Amino acid sequence: MKTMLLRPLAAKSKKHNWQAMIALLFALLVIGASLYTFVYLKHDPTLTDLRGRLQAASALHPLGTDHLGRDVLTRLLLGGGQTLGYSLLALAAALLIGIPFGLIAGYKRGWIDKLFMRIADGFLAFPDTIVAIVLSGLLGAGIGNLVLAIVIVKWVSYARLVRSTVLSESQKDYIRIARTNGLSDARIMTKHLLPHIAGHVLVLASLDLGKIILLISSLSYIGLGAQPPTPEWGAMLNDSRPYFQSRPELMVYPGLAIVSVVLLANMLGDYLRDRFDVKKEVQP
């Protein structure tokens, strides 16, 4: 009976291991290809050649050329570096802001916690996408302003997660013992509390990466993110939209890239959620 119960768990664990391996290999492939293309530019991604516009796939241009004669493969790979790079930058900045705020608010409590909760309630009153669009419109079009808008939107979710975990952990005996032994608040937060929130934060960050990629791509598609001639997946979708009937593959390539990376980021998040045994309160 015990063996029969363990078999589904082992199968599930094996499945998630394969998912994580596939996601990691694909991420390394995209990053490696983007770096290689950046170092060794066979084609200038911004150089226009109207005589060679909308060419089909060939040995010189494996994925053809776009409406301005630019090599699609080069722009697709460099666009992956842009989309993933700025998504990771926004995610890292949100973590650097949210984790300290959540630690201090959950551990110190008092007026700091009350002030933080009022700020968090204000941000959470509206959907992330709506707030990001409004902030991007106010700050002005551009990938830098878009990243700043995403950071302003996203740091609250990490701070709330860290705060709730710290509130729970602060009531446990090992924290009381640490206080009794005279450890400073900073020491307790960094040595004892931070390791307990790392798994929760890592899971939420991996699940959030796909949402940030979609947000950057979608806002670049409507002109609030990367500006021409910068190669970026969402901007490439917008550039190819008028040629969908004659050359649909120009929209298919960046669209497939976005979908693939988002799905793999979610697979990695599911694996990490099971790996760290994080409960259902961590949502994508």
pLDDT of residue 9: 41
pLDDT of residue 31: 65
pLDDT of residue 162: 85
**Spatial separation of the C-alpha atoms in residues 69 and 64, rounded to whole Å:** 9
- Which residues touch 190 (CB under 8 Å, ≥6 apart)? none
Instruction: Give the C-alpha distances (Å, rounded to integers) separating 61 from 75, 172, 280.
Output: 11, 62, 47
pTM, two decimals, is: 0.80
- Which residues touch 51 (CB under 8 Å, ≥6 apart)? 69
pLDDT of residue 58: 81
pLDDT of residue 273: 74
Contact 162, 106 (CB under 8 A): yes
The length of the chain is: 284
pLDDT of residue 92: 92
Contact 207, 157 (CB under 8 A): no
pLDDT of residue 93: 93
pLDDT of residue 25: 66
Instruction: Give the C-alpha distances (Å, rounded to integers) separating 64 from 23, 42, 155, 233, 247.
Output: 27, 14, 40, 16, 10
pLDDT of residue 35: 61
Residue 130 tokens, joined: 């709506």
Beta strands in 147-267 (DSSP E): none
Give, for all 284 residues of the chain, the pLDDT tens digit. Answer: 444 434 444 444 555 566 666 666 666 666 666 565 555 566 667 778 788 888 888 888 888 888 888 888 888 888 887 888 888 899 999 999 988 888 888 877 777 777 777 777 777 777 878 888 888 888 888 888 889 989 988 888 888 888 888 877 777 777 777 777 777 767 777 777 777 788 788 888 888 888 899 889 888 888 888 887 888 888 888 888 888 888 888 889 999 988 888 888 888 777 777 776 655 444 44
The alpha carbon of residue 122 and the mean position of all alpha carbons in its chain are separated, in whole angstroms, by 23
Contact 171, 54 (CB under 8 A): no
pLDDT of residue 94: 92
